[in-house]
Amino acid sequence: MYDIKELTKDIHQNAERQEFVKTLMSGSIEPNLYATYLYNQLQCYAVLEKYGIENSLFRTTPNLPRAEHIHYDFKALWTSEGKPTITQSTKDYVAHIETIKEDAEKLYAHIYTRYLGDISGGQMIMRKTPGPNRYYKFKHKEIKEYKRIVREMINSYLNVYKLNILNEAKFCFASATKLFQEMKEIEDMYYKPLILTNEVKDDLGTTN
């Protein structure tokens, strides 16, 4: 029997090593920056859940879908006018899910990758990020049960559709990695304090 966790170990670890993950876990992420991250996640979860429901992929885990909760968290945190930036990786992810909307096993690879992460590592993120954090809240009894069900489902698909499952899980991890990189760029551009060089200070007349 194949083990999806072992087969995706390297690309999973690469996603976790991204600099923005440190920001998420810092306990001091700027609320609007986190809201931007949530807004991008919302686009991805909404389209995945739309087709997951159409393919009856949540029938044994009815409280697993997260889009409604992510939207609630986003609205609680976002204070700027307009809407946040939707990154290129998010646009690409939504477009990709549209191409596999009738392929249950491919969709489930994304459900495994995203939701098992929410049930597992997401519980640590929940304690470090601002807002109501409904995104990562599950009933205690659901955490253990949903982990078991999702793992059983993905491994049953994997034994029949190994290549499809692996390709989709890797795509999902790669998309998450790219989003972390894009979020780091947004953080550096809009949320980092400006550090003046000596040359700039001279031009501003702030040095002797």
Q: How many CB atoms lie within 10 A of CB 193?
A: 4
Q: How many CB atoms lie within 10 A of CB 62?
A: 10
| 131 dihedral zone (left: phi>0; alpha: psi -120 to 50; beta) | left
Q: What is the pLDDT of residues 103-123, one digit of tens each?
A: 999 999 999 999 999 999 999
In 3D space, the residue among 4, 143, 122 whose CA is nearest the CA of residue 61 turns out to be 143
Question: At 68, which amino acid appears?
Answer: E
In 3D space, the residue among 66, 19, 10, 8 whose CA is nearest the CA of residue 38 turns out to be 66
pTM here is 0.91
4-204: what fold? Heme Oxygenase; Chain A (1.20.910)
Total length of the chain: 208
In 3D space, the residue among 24, 121, 40, 120 whose CA is nearest the CA of residue 74 turns out to be 40
DSSP tag of 136: G
Q: What is the pLDDT of residues 7-64, one digit of tens each?
A: 899 999 999 999 999 999 999 999 999 999 999 999 999 999 999 999 999 999 999 9
CA atoms within 13 A on the CB side of 14: 15
In 3D space, the residue among 12, 9, 32 whose CA is nearest the CA of residue 176 turns out to be 12
DSSP tag of 187: I
